[in-house]
Amino acid sequence: MFQTRKTGMVARIPPHVFFLVSAVFHYLGPACAVLLFSSISVLGVAWFRIASAALIFALWRHPWRTLLNMPWAKRRILLALGIVLALMNVCFYLAIAHLPLGTVGAIEFLGPITLAALGARTPRNIVALVLAAAGGWLLTDVRFAGQPLDFVFAFANCAFFMLYVILGHRIAQDGEFNGIDRLGASMLIALITITPLGFTGALPAMTQPLLILAGIGVGICSSVIPYVGDQLAMARLPRATFALFLSLLPASAALIGVLVLHQIPSTLEIIGILLVAGGIALHKEVETAPDNHKKNL
């Protein structure tokens, strides 16, 4: 009864609201992560992000029950998503450690734009896609300067981000809260995947409470709130529409810059925000939204 009541409350909230919450917190997490780079290694920060998120999901959703009650054929999707989450975070932090965040964001932005292009089947949606892509490009303030390996990590992050959107939609098709349970299970798998890579780098922070709190903050802002918001939005939005909405991420970064860092956007950034808003306003859904009653994961 309580679960049904919660589902009804969620259904009354437009999916775009959940996406907007996800978009805002998407860039608050990296702000916390930057503070940790001077104290622990990049891979240690990535481990903290995954570990703290996995712990929160474990206490909240008890995701091991999902894994135990699911046939192996369906567990494979959760296994794949967990590995993708771990490697995506590793590549993202290795990239932003040496490249400007705007450059990494621009490269990452290529992924959802590609997914949106695959679903743009009308001239109206193609124009919407072009507007959103142009706006995102202006907002990311791209500067190509860095070592080739740094760009390898940035493009690998882009590829893993595309896989995250695809697999995330797969686990969201059976309803919002089922998707969150499966996300929690995937986060446990991500923790197992990333521990050999990042646990040693996180050890210097284990005796410093402030660094531990900062690491937990990274996990909450970067993985718990955005990924839960994504699941609640993915369950009710077509994949191409969700992918196009990801163009809001650079705009949300600019907004956070104004409110938190008092960074006033330039004329080009304002134009970029307007282009993104115009693209999203022009876009019209042409796919059938995911059927929450499907039982095929």
Domain ranges of the chain: 31-99+146-237, 101-145+247-286
CB 108 within 8 A of CB 155: no
pLDDT at 140 over 80: no
pLDDT at 57 over 90: yes
pLDDT band at 291; cut points 50, 70, 90 = very low
What confidence score (pLDDT) does residue 290 get?
A: 44
pLDDT at 297 over 60: no
What confidence score (pLDDT) does residue 288 get?
A: 44
What confidence score (pLDDT) does residue 294 get?
A: 43
Q: Which helix (H) or strand (E) holds 195?
A: helix 176-202
pLDDT at 22 over 60: yes
What confidence score (pLDDT) does residue 287 get?
A: 47
Cα(280)–Cα(286) distance, integer angstroms: 14
User: Residue range 194-221: average pLDDT?
Assistant: 90
End-to-end CA distance of the chain: 23
What confidence score (pLDDT) does residue 272 get?
A: 75
What confidence score (pLDDT) does residue 275 get?
A: 79
Cα(67)–Cα(269) distance, integer angstroms: 45
> Of the spans 62-76, 137-151, 172-186, 225-239, which averages the highest pLDDT?
225-239
Cα(112)–Cα(181) distance, integer angstroms: 24
What confidence score (pLDDT) does residue 131 get?
A: 82
Which of residues 79 and 118 earns the better pLDDT score? Answer: 79
pLDDT at 6 over 70: no
**Hey, CA dihedral for 129, 297, 15, 88, is it positive or negative?**
negative
CA nearest neighbour of 85 among 195, 169, 154, 160: 160
